[in-house]
Structure 1
């Protein structure tokens, strides 16, 4: 389907054509008409499917065709879980607003708060932000959301996983949901917290599922290799970096320490390398990502910090030095390659510590995964056997036992009772009892 079939404003269509967009993707085909009709949406599609344009075009159309509900409040608010994704969404938005009167601002944590306060005072139409920083500005009463017309939550599942539920509810309360339209995009709808959250934020939403979060990318060649230990992984990594033909490459590690160690080792080998981890300040992270996106480095080493929201067209390879704990993150990691119709390679190393994560990924993808091998680097490790569940022993039947013989208590003789008979004049009985009493006394002696 072409964008001209959606009934978009001619000025908007001209911009889309100028940017080189022609055919709408599947998520765009379903989400754009529903959003333009005013429905709340909860939508799921894989990363790289074109969902950003699926919510930006209806937002632009709304502002072009409809009058504002308020003179000063923002009309559209777009929330993303990470600064990197917010910057990419903002970049696409700026391309669409370039020839219009609409103003857009970007609010990110770690950047100058006072400068952001000043640009908010200029009454922007669009605000793109991370939840924490936006909540800070609400608390300082730097702007209000009474006139908000459209709330867009991009990667809502990720925002909840990162602990932004409190801020999202605060933003929801600040914006009148009776007048507001809400569009929620998530990697998966099989997320209990997402569904509970949608009940609070959305009004009778339409549900759109293009591809489940576990859907693998058809343009990505996935390879898995068994590894014995850290040194074995290092040897395989050196093999890949030497023998694979790549444009740019991302290496994912489990810890910041591994990120720094690998970066130092590869840099000593003369490889153009950058490292990205959570202990860097925002300015440093921005500088690294901007440098890598411009192609100034060929290798980026990172934790899961960069697994989502990075649209890096020149990344031809992803290497999982360590597998992620959560299976969904595997899909997002490998989704950094094979974008915009390009082919990509995803290489994963599986050591003893990665085995349970590997089995979880296998179950998540609903397929049996086989392992490749490298000549001279074949692992001795062949996987871990599943732990046997302890089976409770059945209670054994108690053997039937004969009841113990009951000893009869000796009969106590009551001498008073013997003589009481004599008092009654019964002499025969007296003689008989005296004889028994004598026999008994002889036995005891």
Structure 2
């Protein structure tokens, strides 16, 4: 979470507790982002709200700061007794962990106990935390329900409920879990806040069924603002057999720093990461087939700069909170416009500029045209480029005569040695090289 715009109000000016302001100031965070400026007065007053802002524009502290402030010092909330007063729900483990880390920064000078409860970690440690006493819970639906149904997580006194990435949380796959959690609150009066980068009409309608006269806050002008003005978009038709070669060239563009490559499927993520590693690129991968430890290792390596290339599926990528991603590459066209918005929202964040590259397969053109029409991107017929096209080199500032292989083969961070050793794609790479030598 980087410092905000110095022209906007400070957290202190909006009435946030001095302890929280001091903790944020120690990290260089003093002024609010637009979404925070608009939502803090409403949230601090205890009203229900729906907050919408692009990815990377400060949503976490938009709800996190009011949660901390109210639990710490709001007469309307019961005295702390070791059972949770606030519940923040995120769709993925990675996002829950990231939210938990951000809130711990802001709460470092408060006598509050926070716990992050999500899958991939032993129950015993989380149960012990709950037995010791917790004031604010951050977690994923499945683990929260398990702990609640086992009697370890008491939700009777929750006064604030937050759904982060609400569009994802209220998707049909998550709705039953959310309804069960709401039932576990036993109807006690509570503030509800929904935050997301996108908020489709059906989600808004559904959300109002369990909210009390919510105010909707949007920190953007309208539909035309759904994609970043600070993000340059380069979109072109790419043949399926040439996409990996395109990647190898694009990754050598001048000025390229941290880069996220998005794929639609877990198999594609694993394949792309392995193929790039075989070409000598240092790369990490996050997708659903990896264990939690491997996923965390991959994300940590990307955050700390050990690797600058991360190959990810959409769900696994939620929770990546890195402001200086220079390039996002859509290796495959996403299934819908909102996923496209989420993907390219990973670059051009918090005052930085970025480049979003979309490789449209010939069979993906109809899907791209739907995204183009919905978001008004004005490129229904992208140009046809190959990895060797001079237009590609010019658009991305790729030096002349780059090679597809940049060094000895490396190991994908996040993949086991066995999976890489037995990868059919690695064998196919060997076969192609062998065939090339025979020619």
The answer on whether the counterparts of 2:20 and 2:110 sit within 8 Å (CA) in structure 1 is: no
Distance 1:375 1:58 in 2: 49
- Contact residue 326 and residue 348 of structure 2 kept, 8 A: yes
- Equivalence for 2:334: 324
User: Does 2:163 align with 1:153?
Assistant: yes
Structure 2: how far apart are the matches of 1:260 and 1:119? 35
Give 1:12's aligned residue.
20
Whether contact under 8 Å (1:259, 1:275) holds in the other structure is yes
Task: State the Cα distance separating 1:260 from its structure 2 match.
Answer: 2.2
Contact 1:307–1:336, Cα closer than 8 Å, also in 2: no
1:355 aligns with 2:357: no
Aligned length, in residue pairs: 377
Distance 1:162 1:310, change over 3 A: farther
Q: What residue in structure 2 maps to residue 288 of structure 1?
A: 298
Distance change in 2, residues 1:145/1:59 (3 Å): same
Instruction: Look up the SS of the partner of 1:158 in the other structure.
Output: helix
Which residue number corresponds to residue 63 of structure 1?
A: 71
Asked if the contact 2:261–2:310 (Cα under 8 Å) also holds between the matched residues in 1, the reply is yes
Alignment of 1:31-50 (within 5 A): 31-50=39-58
User: 1:230 is matched with which residue?
Assistant: 240
Q: Distance in 2 between matches of 1:265 and 1:190?
A: 37
Which of the numbers 176, 191, 196 marks the counterpart of 2:201? 191
3-state SS, counterpart of residue 145 of structure 1: coil
State the Cα distance separating 1:112 from its structure 2 match: 0.5
- Per the alignment, residue 269 of structure 1 pairs with 279
Three-state SS of the structure 2 residue aligned to 1:285 is helix
Q: What CA distance in whole angstroms lies between the structure 2 residues aligned with 1:172 and 1:59?
A: 18
Q: Distance in 2 between matches of 1:261 and 1:59?
A: 41
- Partner SS state of residue 250, structure 1: strand
Q: Deviations over 1:411-434 (max 9, x none)?
A: xxxxxxxxxxxxxxxxxxxxxxxx
1:300 aligns to 2:310 (yes or no): yes
Contact 1:148–1:176 (Cα < 8 Å) also in 2? no
How far has the Cα of 1:226 moved from its partner?
1.3
Contact 1:225 1:348 in 2 (8 A): yes
Equivalent residue, structure 2, for 1:367: 377
SS in 1 for 2:31: coil
1:333 pairs, out of 334, 337, 343, with 343
Change (3 A) 1:87 1:375: closer
1:26 correspondence with 2:34: yes
- The Cα of 1:307 is off from its aligned counterpart by 4.1
Q: How does 1:96-175 map to 2 (within 5 A)?
A: 96-161=106-171, 163-175=173-185
Deviations 1:336-361 (A, max 9, x none): 11222111111111121211121011
Q: Counterpart of 1:2? A: 10
Deviations along 1:27-64, one digit per CA (max 9) or x if unpaired, are: 11111000111111112211111111111111122122
Tell me how far apart the structure 2 counterparts of residues 367 and 292 of structure 1 sit (CA, whole Å): 30
Structure 2 gap segments, 5+ residues each: 1-8, 392-439
TM-score (structure 2 length as normaliser): 0.81
Q: Distance in 1 between matches of 2:269 and 2:64?
A: 35
Post-superposition CA distance 1:217-242 (Å, at most 9, x none): 12111101112x22222232222123
Greater C-alpha radius of gyration: 1
Query: Aligned-pair distance for 1:378?
Result: 7.9
Instruction: Tell me the CA shift for residue 313 of structure 1.
Output: 2.4
- Partner residue in 1 for 2:434: none
Mean alpha-carbon deviation: is it higher for 169-178 or for 214-223?
169-178
Distance in 1, matches of 2:105 and 2:388, equals 51
Q: Within 2, Cα distance between the matches of 1:56 and 1:376?
A: 48
Q: How has the CA–CA distance of structure 1 residues 188 and 264 changed in structure 2, closer, same or farther, with 3 Å as cutoff?
A: closer
Distance 1:375 1:304 in 2: 25
The equivalent of 2:389 in structure 1 is 377
Matches within 5 A, 1:65-84: 65-67=73-75, 68-69=77-78, 71-84=81-94
RMSD, matched Cα? 2.0
Tell me, yes or no, if the aligned pair for 2:288 and 2:316 is still in contact at 8 Å. no
- Alignment partner, residue 215 of structure 1: 226
- Indicate which of 212, 216, 235 corresponds to 1:203: 212
The 5-angstrom pairing of residues 378-417 of structure 1 reads: none
Distance 1:245 1:12, change over 3 A: closer
Structure 1: runs of 5 or more not aligned: 380-445
The structure showing larger relative contact order (alpha-carbon pairs under 8 Å, at least 6 residues apart) is 2
Aligned partners of 1:257, 1:157: CA distance in 2, in Å?
25
* Contact kept in structure 1, 2:303 and 2:322, CA below 8 Å: yes
TM-score for both structures, normalised by structure 1: 0.80
| CA positional deviation for 1:374 | 6.2
Asked whether the equivalents of residues 247 and 298 of structure 1 are also in contact (C-alpha less than 8 Å), the reply is yes
